[in-house]
Structure 1
């Protein structure tokens, strides 16, 4: 059990650092137009922050004694059932956006995902972080 406690707490720390890095580029985006390189950086930061988010949820749920979870969709559904997240739909949209940015390069898709990151995904990731910090303390 101690190993599982340590795993989700370590994941929470990494997730917090990733969110902080994502905040840097989002703050830039709010103050000015991003260069192509900065847009690519935002997408990259989104990808690893999103990955850490669902893995944090998975580790925490397993720490709570829940059955072994499958992938990200199962984890998101269970996180919703447990009240860790408020709505599965933006989380599923986030997964879809992450898959698009990982496997397809298209400038229009990139710009659409960047808008979603700023307006939707970053706020729900911050909400998750705040909730998990409360649980950790």
Structure 2
């Protein structure tokens, strides 16, 4: 069954909800310590928030009549050129870090991915939240 495409405002609302869930679990981890369960929860909520951000980007450009993107990297580059995100390289690094975390690849990336989420990636997502909020208010 094909999924119905959401409009930009609904995608943004979903993104904000996912980002708020991520903020909550990160705060919980900071307050109660970072064990493997908490790290896994942070990664799960981060992936949902990042996916929702990419959906919002796609919906934003779809609203402008642009064709669909072939992947998250293309969407990220276009978002950077349109000033929807501040740090294009940082966002591309997020994608690469998520790929490396995939259980198909060898290595233990849970700790490093969690550290990057808490120290950098959540800031990137919050910056995107601020920009999109301004763009949607216009």
Please list every run of 5 or more consecutive structure 1 residues that lacks an aligned counterpart in the other structure.
none
1:130 shift after superposition: 1.2
Q: Which residue does 2:132 correspond to in 1?
A: 132
Number of residue-to-residue matches in the alignment = 134
**What TM-score do you get using the length of structure 2 for normalisation?**
0.87
After the TM superposition, which residues 56-71 of structure 1 pair with which residues of structure 2 at under 5 Å, given as runs?
56-71=56-71
Structure with greater helix share of residues: 1
1:81 shift after superposition: 1.1
Measured in 2, the distance between the counterparts of 1:132 and 1:84 equals 7
Contact 2:101 2:108 in 1 (8 A): no
Contact 1:80 1:88 in 2 (8 A): yes
Measured in 2, the distance between the counterparts of 1:50 and 1:133 equals 16
| SS of 2:102 mapped into structure 1 | helix
1:68 shift after superposition: 2.7
Give the stretch that moved more between structures: 121-130 or 65-74: 65-74
Please list every run of 5 or more consecutive structure 2 residues that lacks an aligned counterpart in the other structure.
none
Measured in 1, the distance between the counterparts of 2:69 and 2:61 equals 8
After the TM superposition, which residues 97-108 of structure 1 pair with which residues of structure 2 at under 5 Å, given as runs?
97-104=97-104, 108=108
1:28 aligns with 2:28: yes
**What TM-score do you get using the length of structure 1 for normalisation?**
0.87
> Residues 70-112 of structure 1: CA distance to partner in whole angstroms, max 9, x if unpaired?
2111111111111111221111111112222233487841110
Measured in 2, the distance between the counterparts of 1:114 and 1:48 equals 14
Q: Which residue does 1:55 correspond to in 2?
A: 55
After the TM superposition, which residues 1-137 of structure 1 pair with which residues of structure 2 at under 5 Å, given as runs?
7-104=7-104, 108-137=108-137
